[in-house]
Each structure stands twice: as structure tokens, then as C-alpha cells.
Amino acid sequence: MTIALVLIWKKCDGIMTANIDNYLGLHATALKLRSQRAKLLANNLANADTPNYKARDIDFRSTLQQVSQNKVTHHGKTHAAHIALTGNPDAQALQYRVPTQPSLDGNTVDTQVEQAKFADNAIRYQASLQFLNKRITGLIRTLRSE
């Protein structure tokens, strides 16, 4: 889901428009992906004791690259009689984690690995959030002519 806002402001030679997605760059997309990854990692931690649960994650770098190049396929209806797919279009990016220590009950969640990945993701989420905050603050200052 992209931000569909368009800012309009006056310039010496007329009206100039700028797409906010271009202004914010990849950080808005990265923030969304980091949020989705946090949910996956939290789900893994919540199911650490569930038999046969398979830990899942996304390859953040390749997923961000695919999203930024619009290579993620979204299945839409091409005809009114077609049945719409209700699955998650980002599910193609999900991967199962290879366990470092196999469990007897089939669970592939390593709590320490998941906690470390969750903490790393949280720090990177916060960094993206701070960067976006500075970009938006700069935009507001520009619009106010401060």
C-alpha cells in the first residue's frame, strides 16, 4: 500500500507537484517491511513450544529490492467471472528458517536466534522511523518557509 498523497505548492514559474513516495524514498517501504518482519518474528517466539511449528522469516534485502523495483506479483482479477485470490501477496517472500539444532518435536524455533533477530529488526525499525521523521520535519519547515 503506497502513500497516494501529492503535495502542491507554488513555484516561481507555476505549480509544481511532488509525489511523497519519491521524497521519502525507500524508508517508508522499509518501515512497512520491518513491521511485517516484526510480526513474523514475534509469531515465531510465541510458538517456540508448539510441536511441528516451523520458524518463518523474510529475506529483508531481497524483498525490499523486489518491492522497490515493483517485481512483487499481485494477483488480480482479469475477468468478472474469475475468483479473486485472497492470500497474502507478500507470502512469496516468506521463507522457513533452517534450524541450527533440530528439535525432537519438529519445532524449528531457536528462541535465542529469534530474540536476537527481533532486537536487530527493532533497532533498524527505529532508525528508519527517525529518518522519516527528519524528512517529514524538513518538508514541513520548507512548506512553512522557515
Short-list 119, 124, 108, CA closest to 33: 124
| 142: confidence class by pLDDT, cuts 50, 70, 90 | confident
Q: Please give the Cα distance from 123 to 50 (Å, whole number).
A: 28
| Bridge partners, residue 11, by sequence | 14
Q: Is the pLDDT reported for residue 15 higher than 90?
A: no
Give the mean pLDDT of the chain. 77
User: Which pTM value belongs to this model?
Assistant: 0.69
- How large is the average pLDDT for residues 105-119? 95
Please give the grid coordinates belonging to residue 69.
Answer: 523495483
